[in-house]
């Protein structure tokens, strides 16, 4: 008996599926006799040149479609939902889990702890592999689900078990070795906590992961994020400047070794470490193609490089007076002020920089991406804002005009009486100012 399959959301016109009469609401049950459990199965099995697709029509009738096509040619079907079905949940109790530090009464999706290799492959979510047994690893290998994004934190088995609160967490190197032998590429991360997995432990993590190059493509070293809502959790504190300097130097030292050995830096310190340490971020070449910008690695360098291109083309004076507010979090405050100073040298331009504290998650959370709508309302109400308020687009949920606390851009614009406009970087910023 086939499993429930995937329900068709849309069929592209002029596609193979449209020609064969596949319609919205139909269900793809099997391909070449194999049950289609999720989008991963579908992508893998539908790549073949000769297919027999078992389809259940809306009225319950079953059709067997015989298809001949080019290898990898799409059938033109889009499925409902994310095509994953029920997501595998995380069984860990990480000492630094951000979900456990969320304030109460936020939207339910923010409390979801997924740990699903399919989402890692399909969307780049970090997974831990603590819930991946032989069957899952073999499926990853057999279907070549590559690259994957894996949270390592430490390769020391006992320490990883302690940090992640899971007895199976100590098998990580065994699992990575298996995946590396199967040709799976992995981007990895280590969330560092002062005195817990840094120093000699970080040294070991970098060394052992580095030995798996080129299967391990990158290691991002990022500092633990601590909110003001930690209740009854393991005692942790943020990195101090001197400690952040030590981490950056350690990473830079290992980068040099990897560059001479592999021609690639492989390990990267997150922007937050550089900014906390007060050490300038390295040149773009040291970011090896920026494999982990989503993890806050290299965004400052990208911003600076874009700004140096944009500033060369700035006019001496604007065609008409421009007055705007520009917002960021504490961490990027100095960078924003520097940009505002330069823009304010242009005739008829006034940029008002606002560097806001995060009252929602607490003052230890300093990145712009975690500022909420409420922080903006509190921080900007009653201040001079000019014609519009420009905010970094990373403050919003992807593809959405909503902040983490569900406040919308429109709502803030209304409350402030000034349009709020998200910008993606310096080029966008200058465009919005019509310079």
Q: How far is the CB of 113 from ligand SF4 (least distance, A)?
A: 4
Q: How far is the CB of 166 from ligand SF4 (least distance, A)?
A: 9
Given the complex with ligand SF4, which of 100 and 375 has the nearer CB atom? 100
Alpha-carbon span 303 to 182, nearest angstrom: 37
Interface mask toward ligand SF4 for 55-94; x: CB under 6 A: -----------------------------------x-xxx
Q: Does 112 bind ligand SF4 (CB under 6 A)?
A: no
Note whether 368 and 329 are within 8 A (CB): yes
Q: How far is the CB of 119 from ligand SF4 (least distance, A)?
A: 12
Alpha-carbon span 77 to 12, nearest angstrom: 6
Query: 156: helix, coil or strand?
Result: coil
Q: Directed axis angle between helix 241-262 and helix 200-210, to 10°?
A: 20
As a residue count, the chain comes to 435
Q: How far is the CB of 100 from ligand SF4 (least distance, A)?
A: 7
Cα angle 299, 300, 301 (rounded to 5 degrees) comes to 90
Alpha-carbon span 269 to 31, nearest angstrom: 44
Q: How far is the CB of 193 from ligand SF4 (least distance, A)?
A: 12
Q: Directed axis angle between helix 299-312 and helix 333-343, to 10°?
A: 0
**Could you say which of 11, 97, 169, 433 contacts ligand SF4 (CB under 6 A)?**
97
**Could you say which of 26, 41, 115, 375 contacts ligand SF4 (CB under 6 A)?**
115
Given the complex with ligand SF4, which of 97 and 275 has the nearer CB atom? 97
Instruction: Provide the token pair at 378.
Output: 């509190």
Given the complex with ligand SF4, which of 42 and 361 has the nearer CB atom? 361
Total residues interacting with ligand SF4, rule: CB under 6 A: 9
Given the complex with ligand SF4, which of 158 and 285 has the nearer CB atom? 158
Q: Does 119 bind ligand SF4 (CB under 6 A)?
A: no
Given the complex with ligand SF4, which of 40 and 97 has the nearer CB atom? 97
Q: Does 99 bind ligand SF4 (CB under 6 A)?
A: yes
Given the complex with ligand SF4, which of 60 and 108 has the nearer CB atom? 108
Q: How far is the CB of 92 from ligand SF4 (least distance, A)?
A: 4
Note whether 156 and 190 are within 8 A (CB): no
* Cβ partners under 8 Å of residue 50, min gap 6: 32, 67, 68
Alpha-carbon span 3 to 26, nearest angstrom: 14
Q: Does 128 bind ligand SF4 (CB under 6 A)?
A: yes
Q: Does 113 bind ligand SF4 (CB under 6 A)?
A: yes
Note whether 318 and 435 are within 8 A (CB): yes
Q: How far is the CB of 288 from ligand SF4 (least distance, A)?
A: 25
Our CA dihedral for 22, 23, 26, 29, rounded to 10 degrees, sits at: 20
Given the complex with ligand SF4, which of 99 and 158 has the nearer CB atom? 99
Q: How far is the CB of 148 from ligand SF4 (least distance, A)?
A: 14
Bond preceding residue 147 cis, omega within 30 of 0: yes
Q: Does 230 bind ligand SF4 (CB under 6 A)?
A: no
Note whether 178 and 135 are within 8 A (CB): no
Query: How many CA atoms are closer than 13 Å to the CA of 56, on its beta-carbon side?
Result: 15
Alpha-carbon span 210 to 216, nearest angstrom: 7
Q: How far is the CB of 275 from ligand SF4 (least distance, A)?
A: 23
Note whether 122 and 82 are within 8 A (CB): yes
Given the complex with ligand SF4, which of 44 and 98 has the nearer CB atom? 98
Q: Does 156 bind ligand SF4 (CB under 6 A)?
A: no
Name the site residues for ligand SF4 (rule: CB under 6 A).
90, 92-94, 97, 99, 113, 115, 128
């Amino acid at each position: 008996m086939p499993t429930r399959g995937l329900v068709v959301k849309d069929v592209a016109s002029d596609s193979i599926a449209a020609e064969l009469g596949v319609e919205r609401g139909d269900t793809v049950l099997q391909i070449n006799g194999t049950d289609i459990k999720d989008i991963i199965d579908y992508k893998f099995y539908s790549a073949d040149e000769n297919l027999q697709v078992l389809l259940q029509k809306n009225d319950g009738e079953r059709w067997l479609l015989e298809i001949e096509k080019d290898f990898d040619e799409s059938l033109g079907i889009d499925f409902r939902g994310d095509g994953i079905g029920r997501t595998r949940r995380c069984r860990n109790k990480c000492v630094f889990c951000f979900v456990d530090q969320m304030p109460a009464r936020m939207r339910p999706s923010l409390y979801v702890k997924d740990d699903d290799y399919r989402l890692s492959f399909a969307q780049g979510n970090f997974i831990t592999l603590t819930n991946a047994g032989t069957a899952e690893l073999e499926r990853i290998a057999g279907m070549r689900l590559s690259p994957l994004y894996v949270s390592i934190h430490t390769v020391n088995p006992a320490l990883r078990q302690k940090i992640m609160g899971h007895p199976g967490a100590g098998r990580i190197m065994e699992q990575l070795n298996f995946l590396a032998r199967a040709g799976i590429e992995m981007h990895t991360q280590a969330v560092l906590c002062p005195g817990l997995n840094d120093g000699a432990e970080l040294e070991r993590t970098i060394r052992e992961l580095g030995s798996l190059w080129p299967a391990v493509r990158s290691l991002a070293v990022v500092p633990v994020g601590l909110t003001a809502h930690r209740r009854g959790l393991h005692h942790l504190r943020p990195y101090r400047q001197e400690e952040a300097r030590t981490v950056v130097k350690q990473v830079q030292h290992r980068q040099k070794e990897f560059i001479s050995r592999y021609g690639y830096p492989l390990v990267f310190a997150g922007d937050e470490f550089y900014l906390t340490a007060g050490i300038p971020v390295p040149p773009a070449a040291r970011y090896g193609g920026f494999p982990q910008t989503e993890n806050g690695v290299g965004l400052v360098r990208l911003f600076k490089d874009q700004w140096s291109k944009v500033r060369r083309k700035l006019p001496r004076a604007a065609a008409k007076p421009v007055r705007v507010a520009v917002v960021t979090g504490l961490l990027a405050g100095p960078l924003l002020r520097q940009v505002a100073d330069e823009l304010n040298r242009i005739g008829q331009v006034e940029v008002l920089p606002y560097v806001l504290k995060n009252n929602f998650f607490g003052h230890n959370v300093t990145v712009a991406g975690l500022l909420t709508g409420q922080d903006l309302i509190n921080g900007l109400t009653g201040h001079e804002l000019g014609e519009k308020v420009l905010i970094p687009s990373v403050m919003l949920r992807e593809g959405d005009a909503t902040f983490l606390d569900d406040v919308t851009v429109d709502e803030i614009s209304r409350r402030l009486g000034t349009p709020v406009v998200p910008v993606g970087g310096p080029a966008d910023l200058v465009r919005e100012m019509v310079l």
